Amino acid sequence: MVKICVLGLGYIGLPTALLFANSGHEVVGVDIKHQMVETLKTGKMPFEENGFQELLTSALEKKAFRAESQVEESDVFLVAVPTPFDPEMRMADLKYVISACEMIVPLLRKGNLVIIESTIPPKTCDKQVKQTLEKSTFRMCEDFYVSHCPERAIPGNTLHEMVYNDRVIGGVDEKSTQLTAELYSSFVKGNLHLTTSTTAEMIKLMENTFRDVNIALANEFAQIADDYGIDIWKAIEIANQHPRVNILKPGPGVGGHCIAIDPWFLTENASNSSLIMMARQINDSMPQYVLKMVKEVLAGIKNPTITVFGAAYKGDIADTRATPAKKFIKLAEKEGFRVKVYDPFVRGWCYPVLELNEAVDGSDCIVVLTDHSEFRNMDPTGFRNKMFHLNVIDTRNIINLSVWQNSDFYVHTIGKKLLKLPHVKDLEKSDILPIVY
């Protein structure tokens, strides 16, 4: 058993701390957010996901985990703090990682292991982390050890993936790698792939960049399909029957703290990254493309109201980090649209999230931006009479087409464009203008 101090109790740091605590280690979880620490001390999780509460309860019962506001002397220090993206410089902002390392410095002892789980650009461990920790007068690889072990978990299935996914472990030297592998083997059931810290840093960014580039290609295919009037979703389905083709799905853009951010970490100090940068631009431009669809559908309607279905960046979770919904709403409001938002998971967002009936009341168009299961199974019969116009733009191709059409909705899907727009219905709305075809 070793004592582990986990710095950062967010979506990754906290479950990692609890998994170690339930695997026979003494764990101290540290966070600068006072409310987070106090909530954990009462035995409650600060955010919801399947299995988290049970894991916390078990760790507390074993007296293997406690939450504190100050870093403590330990055998292992694990840094799992956010790595924000600086949009102006298009670089990783390492201030939280460096700050966490600075907190460790006064407590660093010979033989300690420092693990960075935060997503970082290549060479961060060899340079910034090393430089910061050596302020202690100890020397990396001689007196203490450093590794990078990036997470590979997705919100909504975090615990399962943390335990059963393969892990990449990269140390600054062979001893750092071996010490980290021994520690993670206490709860990881997937394979442990051992490499160098710089390679591990690169692999994490490569994985998310691959997905970003693939989605960008799908989004470009979708726009081309709209030009030709074909169904890109069926085309992708058939193309993917090829044994060496795996095209991902188009949509309103990408979000989360990984795919929308990590590719920029690769480009910040690279001379050959034009493909990656182009993919980022394509995916970041998708909210504009969705708004273009909305404007075409609602042409001729004065002061239209649209209802956004989904503020989260992906289905069946409440995570709104880097969600394309935020950019879409800002663009729509700038064009003069009144925007209302409904999301069955999200609460306390930067825009008011309304109940379903209030969100669709007086709306001219529903825009589905998130692939929540509720939207996949939704029957609009109960609220269709609240709307002024029965339009829906499905950016995820998830709603039941026949159900919505049977309720007299005109359904428009990215990559499956209707060649003829609906006529304005004869409703009592004084600000409706005639459409001329």
Catalytic residue numbers, as ranges: 204, 258
Q: Write the DSSP symbol of residue 132.
A: H
Contact 328, 338 (CB under 8 A): no
Strand partners, 148: 116, 170
Are 312 and 345 contacting, i.e. CB atoms less than 8 angstroms apart?
yes
Closest C-alpha among 88, 92, 122, 96 to residue 8? 96
CB 138 within 8 A of CB 110: yes
Are 154 and 124 contacting, i.e. CB atoms less than 8 angstroms apart?
A: no
- C-alpha span between 261 and 272 (Å, rounded): 18
SS3 104: helix
What gap in Å lies between CA 321 and CA 352, rounded to an integer? 16
**Segment (H or E) for 130:** helix 130-133
Q: How far apart are CA 19 and CA 168, in angstroms?
A: 17
Q: Residue 205: CB partners within 8 Å, gap ≥ 6?
A: 119, 121, 122, 262, 263, 265, 266
In whole angstroms, give the CA distance from residue 221 to residue 215: 10
d(CA 140, CA 129): 10
Q: Look at residue 114 and give its three-state secondary structure.
A: strand
- Is the distance from CB of 13 to CB of 29 less than 8 angstroms? yes
Question: 84: which 2 tokens?
Answer: 């924000």
Residue 99 contacts residue 136 (beta carbons within 8 Å): no
Q: Under a CB-based contact definition with an 8 Å cutoff, are residues 253 and 224 in contact?
A: no
Instruction: Report CA 180 to chain centroid distance, whole Å.
Output: 26
Let me know: does 158 contact 17? Beta carbons within 8 Å: no
Contact predicate 363/329, CB 8 Å = no
The total number of residues shown for the chain amounts to 437
Token pair for 52: 């988290």
Cβ-contact 349, 311 below 8 angstroms: yes
